[in-house]
Homo-oligomer: A and B are copies of this chain.
Amino acid sequence: MPNETLTQNIKESVIELINQGNERGLHDLFEEIGNRDIIHLISHLNRTEQVQLFTILSPEDAADVMEDIPEVQAAEIIEDMQVEEAAAIISEMESDDQADLLQELVDENVEAILEEMEPDDAASARKLLSYDEDTAGGMMHTEYFVFHDDMTNAEVINELRRNADVYKDYPLKKIFAIDQKGTMSGVVNMQSLLLGKPEWKLGSISKTEFISVNHLDLFEELVEHFDEHDHYGVPVLDDNNALVGVLLRRDVREEETERLSREHLESQGIVGGEELRTMPVFIRAKRRLSWLSVNILLNMLAASVIAYHQDILTSVIALAVFLPIISDMSGCSGNQAVAVSMRELSIGVVAPREVFRVWWQEASVGLINGLVLGLLIGLAAFLWKGNMYLGIVVGSALMINTLLAVSLGGTIPLILKGFGIDPALASGPILTTITDMMGFFLTLTFASMMLTQLGGI
């Protein structure tokens, strides 16, 4: 956790260095402080200070910082910078971070930035941008060692030495050999290269049996790939077996973490990507409202059940106290089941078609918890008004509604997933609308059946 005074001091120093335009000083300071301090610092500068900072820093340093901070924030800063400076920074970023960042920008800015970049860099960035984010192509790096297989060991070693500066940042220390047509022909270990005779051809020491993935392989297949193969990275080939990139274990892991965060945010009603509080207030409000406004309509729909039975409520006003409790508790029980289903789907112990089995496993839990919660609230109702029938009405309504909520909560995510709808986003609102309606309906219907015994409480 950043230390309060320390962070305050860092911020003041940075602002001073920015005002001085002191590139060297900023470079040294960023070398010194930790990654979490950097993230914290950047989010505490205002936009003008952020833009000045990234303009003063060398493109290399600026790229390093850009890679550390959240993508949405980096995108906002980039959009406020001069195109030439933005392009210089983006050119220095690792290919996969570069693609992620460009994806966050509006299209005309992407075009303007790509036009400022070196044609080779721009072409490679365009290539990555053309892939879906959840494919191997969308997650891969384009920094890797590749040489033609008719080069000699000596030539390759020479080439490696000459470009040591660029190559030292390459994440995977394996060499890929390609033939004249660009088709991947083998993999060479650094060790074999160093131990082999200088005049040997790369093709003669490369392992021609190697594991690769296809550029269009999907996230779930890639997770499985890395579960089965214990390596650090794997070559990515296109449909003609031409080498197009390298996919690292950590690229897939990062995507996994991002998915988990996104699912969690969506299930709590933060839709359309990550929200940072440094984003403009109106954008934040609008994005949250898009979900809230659907929700309030669903709520009104559910509440219409109460409106429809208003006469019963007039006779037994005490019920009004229990309606929000029944609504909230059914939502809670149902959401527990949703969370377990989401988890089981993501680790793969359950498949969407197993709706019936899951329903059965949830129903038993729903029955037990429904009984307990129903008894609790029934007892509370009885103790409050001294009327047993009130206890029976609200207790049995909550009991049945808990069973329903848990059954629905367990199965809705599977059904949505089966239909290709994002379960993280839609499960909650669908669940609570149905359980609210049913909860209100059950309570008021049971009450109407016992109106004489309930009379006037």
Contacts and interface: CB of A to CB of B under 8 A. Distances in A.
Query: Chain copies in the assembly?
Result: 2
A40 B351 contact: yes
A5 to B, nearest CB: 11
B328 A292 contact: no
A27 interface: no
Contacts of A268: 267, 335-336, 338-339
A238 to B, nearest CB: 23
Contacts of A377: 296, 300
A81 interface: no
Interface stretch (A18-26, A118-126, A136-144, A250-258): A250-258
Interface residues of A, number: 111
A224 B34 contact: yes
B436 A285 contact: no
Interface string A308-329: 0010011001101111110111
Nearest to A298: B328
A285 B365 contact: yes
A306 B320 contact: yes
Contact of A43 (B190, B325, B350): B350
Interface stretch (A52-60, A85-93, A175-183, A366-374): A366-374
A191 B321 CA distance: 75
A49 interface: no
Interface stretch (A106-114, A159-167, A270-278): A270-278
Interface of A: 1-2, 4, 7, 34-36, 39-40, 43, 68, 70, 73, 169, 171, 190-191, 194-195, 220, 223-224, 227-228, 230, 232, 249-250, 253, 256-257, 260-261, 263-265, 267-270, 274-278, 281-282, 284-285, 288-289, 291-293, 295-296, 299-300, 302-304, 306-307, 310, 313-314, 317-318, 320-325, 327-329, 331-333, 335-336, 338-340, 342-344, 347-353, 358, 361-362, 364-365, 368-369, 372-373, 376-377, 380, 384, 432, 436, 440
